[in-house]
């Protein structure tokens, strides 16, 4: 018997490192995502004076040593504005995603494990919500109650809960039919135990992948609302509102309108690269399993 057969697979995995199974694209996505998270944390220490400070360079100025990303429509430093908008862009989308996936996963697990009228009722109610276009729902709610950060989070969470519910329920129904779940029921375990200990650990990978996709969807929805003037309101700003504010720079090819658009693109691409390289999603993992 060789030494390799005596070493548990988990030990070998630990020695290879946390990023050993990740491709270069996945590592690049993690690096970009980590960069924006650091920027979001650094923005919390910026003072209000720095965010609204006018420059004597004029409006829609090109990149320079003084202003790396030029100036906006009021002559403010565009780099500072993008940094200031990062917490709102990432934070609102992230909180909405966590709420949507948390509620969707909980309801999906409950429907799959309970079955019967509970499953039918939840499925029909959430299917009805899916039939409403997300942007139309958001526009109606914001028009009725006004725009605020808590309302934007609530709207995005409500919009994307049904999608997460349907995916988690479909996965949980298959797991719920497994023999070890039947054994758990036979020994008297309750629904909460089965949901938490028997079903949830077996769908963690797909749940994380779906969370990444929901984050991209929420980011896109919130950016589009901000572009329409219904998202984060002044003096606060996110990347979508920065694009809208600086549309006047398009005729002169100003970087002030391109920079926030590129920031949105890099963040969404980075999240997609990370999703594609999650454990169990790469070609090597498929061949191994």
Structural domains in the chain plus CATH codes: 82-283 (1.10.3720.10)
pLDDT at 45: 81
Three-state secondary-structure class, residue 207: helix
Residue 54's pLDDT band (cuts 50, 70, 90)? low
Residue 115: which region, alpha, beta or left (left: phi > 0; alpha: psi -120 to 50)? left
Nearest by Cα to 88 from 36, 21, 17: 36
pLDDT at position 120, please?
Answer: 93
pLDDT of residue 267: 95
For residues 206 and 224, the answer to whether their CB atoms sit within 8 Å is: no
Average pLDDT over residues 100-105: 95
pLDDT of residue 46: 72
Backbone angles phi, psi at 227, to 5 degrees: -65, -30
pLDDT higher at 50 or 131:
131
3 state DSSP class of 284 = helix
CA angle 77–78–84, rounded 5-degree value: 95
| DSSP symbol at 62 | P
33: pLDDT confidence band, cut at 50, 70 and 90? very high
For residues 138-153, give the mean pLDDT.
91
Question: How high is the pLDDT of residue 101?
Answer: 95
Q: Quick one: pLDDT at residue 131?
A: 86
Tokens describing residue 263: 């920031």
Contact 142, 151 (CB under 8 A): yes
Residue 3 has pLDDT above 50, yes or no: no
What residues pair up with 54 in beta bridges, in sequence order?
76
Sign for the pseudo-dihedral over CA of 232, 234, 239, 242:
positive
Q: 71 by DSSP, 3-state: which?
A: strand
Q: What's the mean per-residue pLDDT of the chain? A: 85
pLDDT at position 52, please? 57
Say what the pLDDT of residue 4 is. Answer: 43
Query: Alpha-carbon dihedral of residues 131, 134, 136, 139, nearest 10 degrees?
Result: 150
pLDDT at 133: 87
pLDDT above 70: percentage of residues in the chain: 85
Model confidence pLDDT, tens digit, residues 125-138: 998 888 888 889 99
pLDDT of residue 225: 93
Confidence of residue 48 (pLDDT cuts 50, 70, 90): low
Q: What is the mean pLDDT of residues 50-76?
A: 77
29-43, 68-82, 103-117 — which is least confidently predicted?
68-82
* Of the candidates 233, 244, 216, 260, the residue with the CA atom closest to the CA atom of residue 69: 260
In sequence order, which residues have a C-beta less than 8 Å from that of residue 53 and are 6 or more positions away? Answer: 76, 77, 80
Tens digits of per-residue pLDDT, 179-226? 989 999 898 888 899 999 999 999 998 999 999 999 999 999 999 999
Spatial separation of the C-alpha atoms in residues 268 and 219, rounded to whole Å: 8
pTM of the predicted structure, to 2 decimals: 0.85
Identify whether the C-beta of residue 220 lies closer than 8 Å to the C-beta of residue 231. Answer: no
Is residue 284 pLDDT above 50, yes or no? no
Q: What is the pLDDT of residue 47?
A: 63
pLDDT of residue 13: 43
pLDDT in tens, 225-281: 999 888 888 878 899 999 998 988 887 767 888 999 999 999 999 999 999 887 655
- Report pLDDT for 135: 87
Residue carrying the six token digits 């998270």? 37
CA distance 180 to 175: 9
């Amino acid at each position: 018997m060789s030494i390799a057969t005596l070493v548990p697979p988990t030990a070998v995995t630990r020695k290879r490192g946390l990023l050993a199974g990740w491709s270069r694209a996945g590592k690049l996505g993690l690096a970009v995502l980590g960069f924006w998270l650091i920027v979001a944390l650094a923005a919390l220490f910026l003072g209000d004076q720095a965010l609204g400070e006018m420059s004597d360079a004029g409006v829609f100025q090109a990149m320079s040593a003084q202003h790396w990303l030029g100036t906006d429509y009021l002559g403010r430093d565009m780099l500072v504005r993008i940094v200031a908008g990062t917490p709102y862009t990432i934070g609102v989308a992230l909180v909405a995603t966590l709420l949507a996936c948390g509620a969707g996963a909980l309801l999906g697990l409950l429907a799959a494990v309970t079955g019967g009228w509970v499953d039918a009722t939840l499925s029909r109610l959430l299917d009805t919500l899916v039939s409403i276009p997300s942007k139309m729902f958001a526009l109606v709610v914001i028009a009725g109650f006004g725009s605020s950060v808590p309302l934007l989070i609530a709207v995005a969470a409500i919009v994307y809960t049904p999608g997460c519910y349907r995916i988690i329920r479909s996965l949980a129904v298959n797991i719920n039919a497994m023999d070890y779940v039947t054994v758990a029921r036979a020994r008297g375990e309750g629904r909460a135990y089965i949901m938490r200990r028997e079903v949830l650990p077996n769908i963690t990978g797909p749940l994380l992948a779906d969370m990444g996709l929901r984050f991209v969807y929420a980011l896109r929805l919130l950016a589009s609302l901000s572009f329409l003037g219904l998202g984060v309101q002044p003096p606060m700003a996110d990347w979508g509102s920065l694009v809208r504010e600086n549309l006047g720079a398009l005729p002169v090819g100003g970087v002030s309108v391109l920079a926030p658009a590129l920031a949105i693109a890099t963040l969404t691409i980075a999240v997609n690269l990370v999703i594609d390289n999650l454990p169990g999603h790469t070609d090597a993992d498929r061949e191994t399993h």
